[in-house]
Chain A
Amino acid sequence: MSELKPHISSYGSHLFVLACLITLTGITVAITSVQLGAFNTTAAMMIASTKAAIVLIYFMHLKFDDKIFRFMVTLVLAIYAIVIVITFFDYLYR
């Protein structure tokens, strides 16, 4: 856990990440204005997840922090995913 020199993200990299996030938001709005049936929701959720991942990795600094943080976040998200799957099995096959 030697944090002698913490990683400093540059202003430019933050602005680049922001530009990516806004672009992805624009793409979601554009996609949902086209009729694609069930694919619309899937696409919107996939883009939202990508945006969330970008926020977690860059803004919330997971990429540069101690590995323990990455491990914990992954674990929590995995548990949450399992809960979603179980809930939907319940509702689909009840």
Chain B
Amino acid sequence: MEQNTTTHTAHENYDPISSKLGMWLFIFTELLLFGALFIVYSVYRYRNPVAFHLAHHELSITIGFINTVILLISSATVAMSITAMQKGDKKATLIFLAITLLLATIFLINKYFEWGAKIHHGIYPGSEFLLSLSHGDILFFGLYFFMTGLHAIHIIVGMVLLTIVFFRVRNGRINPDRYSFLENGGLYWHLVDLIWIFLFPLFYLIH
């Protein structure tokens, strides 16, 4: 490893710890964004317990469970791509990143069918059918579409980010001496997973 006296060579402007600090600060803003939504959800559920309980039967636990497992696996593959990078195994890094992107795509396809079925049944924000239901139902589905939708946007952003990571690893800009971008991309992906961990029981598993 380099000594303090001769740092002005290849790593002049490279400071992985500061980069990571910046990434974490950004993640905190994301956590508080979703955190506020979770509080809104809890208050409305506390005020409309029966409607929330009945409305959640519209959601498929199976699809929710499958999507949870998909996201958990994709989180693990991102973590493993970092391990591969640290070991200097470029090929494995790329394979793990590709698997992650594939899993993210499957997640979104499931989401598409899930939302599609709801919309087909006339349940979407502002629909005539939904507006004819009780106040609690409207709140439940409003929050459902908004929170899972915002989460899906995060999935798409994460996929764009990981695609950039993929190409940078391939052309060597991210390498075992300089992989902070990969690590921070991974942190973002874990954040997406973290949020889903709470969305799943709150929307699909109400009792």
Residues of A within 8 A of B (CB): 1, 3-4, 6, 8-11, 14-15, 17-18, 21-22, 25, 28-29, 32, 35-36, 40-41, 44-45, 47-48, 51-52, 55-56, 58-61, 65-66, 68-69, 72-73, 76, 80, 83-84, 87-88, 91
Q: How far is the CA of A87 from the CA of B60 in the complex (A)?
A: 31
Q: How far is the CA of A44 from the CA of B200 in the complex (A)?
A: 10
Residues of B within 8 Å of A, CB-based: how many? 43
**Residue contacts A-B, CB under 8 angstroms, 15 given:** A3-B16, A4-B1, A10-B83, A28-B200, A32-B207, A35-B207, A44-B207, A59-B79, A59-B193, A69-B21, A72-B28, A80-B32, A83-B35, A87-B39, A88-B42
Given A14-B79, A76-B28: 9 more A-B contacts, CB < 8 Å: A8-B83, A14-B83, A22-B69, A32-B201, A44-B205, A59-B186, A69-B21, A73-B24, A76-B31
Q: How far is the CA of A21 from the CA of B78 in the complex (A)?
A: 15
User: Among B1, B32, B197, B206, which residue has the most Cβ atoms of chain A within 10 A?
Assistant: B197
CB neighbours of A66 from chain B (8 A): 17
CB neighbours of B43 from chain A (8 A): 87, 91
CB neighbours of A55 from chain B (8 A): 75, 190, 193-194, 197
Contact among B24, B72, B75 for A25, CB-based, below 8 A? B72
CB neighbours of B73 from chain A (8 A): 18
CB neighbours of A52 from chain B (8 A): 194, 197-198
User: When the two chains form their complex, are residues B31 and A22 in contact, meaning their CB atoms are under 8 A apart?
Assistant: no
Residue of B nearest to A62 (CB): B24
Q: How far is the CA of A29 from the CA of B64 in the complex (A)?
A: 10
User: Among A52, A59, A83, which residue has the most Cβ atoms of chain B within 10 A?
Assistant: A59
Distance (Å) between the CB of B81 and the closest chain A CB?
10
CB neighbours of A6 from chain B (8 A): 86
Contact among B21, B87, B197 for A68, CB-based, below 8 A? B21
